[in-house]
Structure 1
Amino acid sequence: MNLIDRVVYELPISDHEAAIGLYVTGVGRCNAPSGVDYPQFASQETQKWSWDKGRILTQFELHFIVSGQGEFESATMGKTDLGPDSILLLFPGVWHRFRPSDSTGWKEYWVAISGDLVHRIVSSSEFTPSDCISVLNRSSGRLLIDSFERLITRVQDDLTTHSAVLSANVLELLALALDAEKNEQLVFFSSNGLRTDRIEDPIVAKTIETIWTRSHRPIPIGQIVSEIPTTRRTLERRFIDVVGHSILEEIVNCRLIRAKKLLTETDLSIRSIAVLTGFVSQEKMRKAMLSREGVPPVEYRAKTRS
């Protein structure tokens, strides 16, 4: 079996770094030769996935295909080809998979990022889950490569610290990527897998979109209702008819999906995870996890890491 030449770093995140609002959870480069089995992430638990099953992220990932060709498929875009200088901005909550062509292989860079600032930057851009691919011109591509290399070097210099400089480096990457942005219909998934573009009721589809783009911070149902042209009673009834559970349950489900990811893959404190995933308190998250998982957050973290 051919092996992928790769560099992968996963960063520890403290409460201080999380408070910045933009933090890096992983970064790397990959040179996959033709005919290689892809992906190959046997040593990094958080990067394990397969082409057959694909994956769903709870954070954003920015990928840049430097050379070679391949294919990408997601629940929101369907299948599409990838070529040199392609940018992928992968959204949390969206099933997807990608791989290089057997005949060409490819070289790629990637960074995994999260935080309130990332959500705000992306939500104000024109990148969407249904239009998450752009192509850079060669001069911009060179700038993106240089920025990725600076980020990797900074991480190599100190694997234990997530400095503000790393966050600034990621802002540079995002700025270069957003220069190539495009605009299409926004598509999201409910916690039980319903696609908003296949929901006939536009009010329910808009509610799911609002929940999944804002549930990283406290969002009262009344605030959602204020942005939807209907009453709360009507919205609750129509939401249950389509999705099968209440708006509040959807909000909690969304937050728990993200909280479980952070519990498993980071060393953030329980309090910080509660804040980052939109729970109004650590106790609220504890009760929600006890109700749905049968164990409190501390035990869930220990169980998933054992």
Structure 2
Amino acid sequence: MDFDRSKHNVIKYLPTNNDENIWGMSISGIGFQSIDPKGSYPLKGHPIGYTFNPDRGRIIDEFALVYIVKGEGTFTSINCLEKKISKGDAFFIFPGQWHSYQPIANIGWDEYYVTFQGDYFEKLLNGIINRANPIFHIGMNDQIVKHFGEMLDCARAQKSGFQAVLAGITMHTIGLIYSINKNQDYGPVSMQKIQEACVLMRENIYDKFTPEDIAESINMSYSNFRKSFKQYTGIAPHQYMLQLKLSKIKDLLSSTEMSIQDIAMKLNFESADYFSYFFRSKTGINPLSYRKEIEKQREKAKKNSH
């Protein structure tokens, strides 16, 4: 089963604020692009200065981190001869550095990216990255995809202090990439398959699919997939999917004003009643009570801060 990731495409470019002066770093853009075979690249929606013709390349005024989770392509820069990029590769771009990258036309790719700037980032990346080879072969990693998902959610909401939160997650992501690469800690082929499965589950949390669909997508028999998944994660694939769903419910209840009915529909529950039953069975509290408790905690925190 091949999942349609293109419906999850997100391109967000962000305003800066006084947080940049306080923290010394800011995030200018975050996104996800799924490029089908023979699809145009990059997608429409990028502002002037960010869109580019891969045949001519471009120069930007900030750093960029790109993580490929599907497909193949190439990367080149003024410092780096053209290199192949594959699923599980991350690469960095420096301010003022001519560069170009693109998926192979008849293969396509899926990419997460973040663009950022600041003295702290500059000092760090100039210290740990070789401009002649800024590509990290880290393999598929669900934690990195989770961080990109958190950044996308934060960028959509743009709540007070969001720039500081984004900068913190970006720093954590860079640290994780550096650590995996340094220790070559991306695991055997079987573990990479499970990481890929976890990524698919996370990216398609709003869709109707089963563990059997995931096994088919990563070319494993279901019995072998279930056994390997439980070996590496400690729980069965179905339970892992339920944990992801529960985490997303808590996020939607606490960070949006969506109704219980709308959340239930968004996450493909049969009914709002079953949705409430599921949530209560996992947390011991119903969804509305959970939302009210979160609101109480926020009000208490506001009063204590004055």
Pick the TM interval, shorter chain.
0.5 to 0.7
Q: 1:20 is matched with which residue: 18, 23, 27?
A: 23
Alpha-carbon offset, residue 16 of structure 1: 3.1
Q: 1:137 is matched with which residue: 139, 159, 170?
A: 139
Alpha-carbon separation, structure 1, partners of 2:65 and 2:46? 21
Q: Which runs of 5+ in 1 are unaligned?
A: 183-306
Is the contact made by 2:65 and 2:115 (CA closer than 8 Å) also made in structure 1?
Answer: yes
Q: 1:62 is matched with which residue: 36, 60, 65?
A: 65
The answer to whether residue 182 in structure 2 is matched with residue 179 in structure 1 is no
Alpha-carbon offset, residue 179 of structure 1: 2.1
SS at match of 1:45: coil
SS at match of 2:59: coil
Deviations 1:42-67 (CA, angstroms, capped at 9, x unpaired): 45223221112201121100000001
Is the contact made by 2:92 and 2:135 (CA closer than 8 Å) also made in structure 1?
Answer: yes
Partner of 2:164: 164
Q: 1:95 is matched with which residue: 89, 93, 98?
A: 98
Is the contact made by 1:85 and 1:136 (CA closer than 8 Å) also made in structure 2?
Answer: yes
The answer to whether residue 72 in structure 2 is matched with residue 72 in structure 1 is no
Alpha-carbon separation, structure 1, partners of 2:115 and 2:149? 15
SS at match of 2:82: strand
Structure 1 pair 137–51 and aligned structure 2 pair: CA distance change class (3 A): closer
Residue identity matched to 1:176: L
Structure 1 pair 95–155 and aligned structure 2 pair: CA distance change class (3 A): same
Instruction: Tell me how large the CA RMSD over aligned residues is.
Output: 2.1
Partner of 2:124: 121
Runs of 4+ in 1 over 6 A off after TM superposition: none
Is the contact made by 1:13 and 1:162 (CA closer than 8 Å) also made in structure 2?
Answer: no
Aligned residues: 177
Is the contact made by 1:23 and 1:162 (CA closer than 8 Å) also made in structure 2?
Answer: no
Deviates more, 1:73-82 or 1:24-33: 73-82
SS at match of 2:175: helix
Deviations 1:163-207 (CA, angstroms, capped at 9, x unpaired): 42222111111112222557xxxxxxxxxxxxxxxxxxxxxxxxx
Alpha-carbon separation, structure 2, partners of 1:118 and 1:43? 23
Alpha-carbon offset, residue 37 of structure 1: 1.5
Alpha-carbon offset, residue 87 of structure 1: 0.5
The answer to whether residue 77 in structure 2 is matched with residue 82 in structure 1 is no
Percent pairwise identity: 23
Partner of 1:152: 152
Partner of 2:254: none
SS at match of 1:28: strand
Question: Where do residues 121-270 of structure 1 align in structure 2 (5 Å cutoff)?
Answer: 121-125=124-128, 127-138=129-140, 141-158=141-158, 162-181=162-181
Structure 1 pair 43–171 and aligned structure 2 pair: CA distance change class (3 A): closer
Q: What is the TM-score with the length of structure 1 in the denominator? A: 0.54
The answer to whether residue 43 in structure 2 is matched with residue 40 in structure 1 is yes
Partner of 1:189: none
Is the contact made by 2:62 and 2:117 (CA closer than 8 Å) also made in structure 1?
Answer: yes
The answer to whether residue 34 in structure 2 is matched with residue 31 in structure 1 is yes
Structure 1 pair 149–108 and aligned structure 2 pair: CA distance change class (3 A): same
Is the contact made by 2:29 and 2:115 (CA closer than 8 Å) also made in structure 1?
Answer: yes
Alpha-carbon offset, residue 159 of structure 1: 6.7
Q: What is the TM-score with the length of structure 2 in the denominator? A: 0.54
Is the contact made by 1:70 and 1:100 (CA closer than 8 Å) also made in structure 2?
Answer: yes
Alpha-carbon separation, structure 2, partners of 1:12 and 1:136? 31
Is the contact made by 2:76 and 2:83 (CA closer than 8 Å) also made in structure 1?
Answer: yes
Q: Which runs of 5+ in 2 are unaligned?
A: 1-5, 183-306
Partner of 2:257: none
